[in-house]
Every structure is written in structure tokens, then in C-alpha cells.
Amino acid sequence: MKKIGIVGCGAIGEGVALSINKAASNQFVLTALADKRKTAAVSLNKKLSKKAKIKNIKKLVEEVDLVIEAASQAAALEVIQHALGHKKDLIILSVGALIKNPNIIKEIRTKKINLYIPSGAISGIDGLAALSQGNIKKMTLTTSKPPAGLAGAKYLKNKKINMGKAIKPVTIFSGNVTEAIRHFPKNINVAATLFLASKFDKIKVIIKLNPKIKKNIHKIEAVADEAKIKIEVENASSKMNPKTSALTILSVQHLLEKIFSSFKIGT
């Protein structure tokens, strides 16, 4: 029986914990939760029929076989450092942390740790990853978000962008993946996922504020010698966090199904 620990008991952590709990697998079990807000971990634990232990990140990593990080870039780095020391497998949601620290992926490979990155809020990752073997000429990610999906982003404050005043769609950012992750660490993990899948280092990221929409919309256009790919995903937000898409939670559940292949979540 593999032990799973979840770091971050917010929208994703809670959704995934509840699905694991409901599934009652004989292959894996949720044994530990960590959150810098202990109240979040306690409150989630109360909702679980099979209780987990609440630990700090270090102790959680030591105890479990697979860590699901669903907290923040800082937490992802802490989790990875401990996982490297104890050779534990990882599912990382705060993917931007990997882009900011490219040596980490090399270290993870050297230690032969399994690092899983869910497709998150986008789809079509299989085809985009296939193109990494070909000759990509151009790739653009255009993300449109309602004000709630961008609330709290420091970039908007620094640029004196008043979201309340926007009455029509407006481009608030255009740049590369590294800049996008730096300015929007909580909003644009999909850019990092796209880069890691396609290995294309000239992805253009455009972020639009659209007061007329309620959903987060991601459009990906890739042009390669071998194929042109267009993907558009219209995401409902998770109930707990308007910045996070419900599809992201499902993508982690699906990933667990793939890792533990004879197991079906929700059955």
C-alpha cells in the first residue's frame, strides 16, 4: 500500500484528498496533510472518513511514498528539497517553481525520482509533447481571465491596472514563459506546463483581463513543420478558488489513475 501525502489543503488539495478518500483504494492511501495554515489542514481532515495525520512538510515527505504538492512555488521547492534527500516520488502543481530553477529537474533525474506534472488547466499536452520531437516554429498561449481569476496579482498593482475600471477585454501582459511565471506566480502555471511538455523555449504568453467572462479560457496555437495545433479550453473555476480551474483537480485524479493503473478513482 503506497502512502500519499498532500501539501496544500486549498482548492486542489481538498478536491484530490476527498477523491482519494472516496475511492478507498487497496493500492494507496492518504496518510498525511500539510499546510502553512494549520486550520486548513484540520478542516480538511474533518471531512475525511479515513483521517490523515497533520505534519510539517519535512515530516510529511519522510513518511509518505508519493507527495502531491498543491500549495505554492515556495512549498514546491521545499517539498522537492526533502524529496531529493529521501528519494520520494512527486506530483507538482506549482509548476512555475520548476521553470525558475531548471537545475532541479536535472537533480530529480539524477536521483531517479518520479516527477509527475498533471496537464492541469489545459489539454492536448500529448500532441504538444509529441511536437517536441519535431520542428516547432511558433507557439502562443493566450489566457483570458475574469477579474476574480487575477485578483491579488502584484503585477497589476505595480502597473497600476485597476481591474474594476475594465469594461472590455484588455491585454495586460505579453512576454515569455519566465516573465509570465515571475509576474503571475499563481495564475499561469499552464505556461510552465506547456514549456516542459513542448520543450519550445520561445512560447509567447498573452494574458487578457476580460470583465465579460466568468471562466478562465486558455487558447494554445502551435505551428510546426509536422502539424498545426489549436487548442481552446474554457474552464469553470473550482468552487474554493476562482484562480484555479476545476479541470486541474480532475487532471490530478486522472494522473493517479494512470500511476496506479488498475485503480479507478470514484468507483
Report, as residue numbers or ranges, the catalytic residues.
218
Q: Give the separation between CA 38 and CA 8, rounded to whole angstroms.
A: 10
Among 10, 146, 149, 242, indicate the residue that binds ligand NAD (CB under 6 A): 10
Taking each helix axis from N to C end, the angle separating 246-259 and 11-23, rounded to the nearest 10 degrees, works out to 40
CA distances from 145 to 26, 171, 177, 226 (A): 40, 10, 17, 31
Q: Does the footprint of ligand NAD cover residue 100 (CB under 6 A)?
A: no
Q: Give the separation between CA 162 and CA 13, rounded to whole angstroms.
A: 31
Q: Does the footprint of ligand NAD cover residue 125 (CB under 6 A)?
A: no
Beta bridge partners of 54: 33
Q: Give the separation between CA 165 and CA 149, rounded to whole angstroms.
A: 16
Q: Does the footprint of ligand NAD cover residue 35 (CB under 6 A)?
A: yes
Closest contact distance (angstroms) between CB of 67 and ligand NAD is: 12
Do residues 267 and 21 lie in contact, with contact meaning Cβ atoms separated by under 8 Å? no
Q: Give the separation between CA 167 and CA 41, rounded to whole angstroms.
A: 39
Among 5, 8, 146, 242, indicate the residue that binds ligand NAD (CB under 6 A): 8
Closest contact distance (angstroms) between CB of 137 and ligand NAD is: 25
Q: Give the separation between CA 135 and CA 198, rounded to whole angstroms.
A: 10
Closest contact distance (angstroms) between CB of 176 and ligand NAD is: 18
Q: Does the footprint of ligand NAD cover residue 89 (CB under 6 A)?
A: no
**Residue with smaller CB distance to ligand NAD, 194 or 222:** 194
Q: Reduce the DSSP state of residue 232 to 3 states and report it.
A: strand
Among 21, 31, 248, 253, indicate the residue that binds ligand NAD (CB under 6 A): 248
Q: Does the footprint of ligand NAD cover residue 91 (CB under 6 A)?
A: no
Q: Does the footprint of ligand NAD cover residue 25 (CB under 6 A)?
A: no
Closest CA relative to residue 30, chosen from 67, 72, 70, 80: 67
Q: Does the footprint of ligand NAD cover residue 244 (CB under 6 A)?
A: yes
Give 63's Cβ-side CA count (13 Å radius): 20
**Residue with smaller CB distance to ligand NAD, 40 or 156:** 40
Q: Does the footprint of ligand NAD cover residue 237 (CB under 6 A)?
A: no
Among 30, 80, 90, 93, indicate the residue that binds ligand NAD (CB under 6 A): 93
What's the one-letter identity of residue 234? E
Q: Does the footprint of ligand NAD cover residue 40 (CB under 6 A)?
A: yes
**b/e code 6-16 from CB counts within 10 Å (16+ = b):** bbbbbbbbbbb
Closest contact distance (angstroms) between CB of 44 and ligand NAD is: 9
**Residue with smaller CB distance to ligand NAD, 53 or 223:** 53
Among 23, 29, 95, 197, indicate the residue that binds ligand NAD (CB under 6 A): 95
**Among positive and negative, which fits the CA dihedral 24, 27, 31, 36?**
negative
Q: Which residues bind ligand NAD (CB under 6 A)?
A: 7-13, 34-37, 40, 70-72, 74-75, 93-95, 120-121, 186, 189-190, 193, 240-241, 244, 248
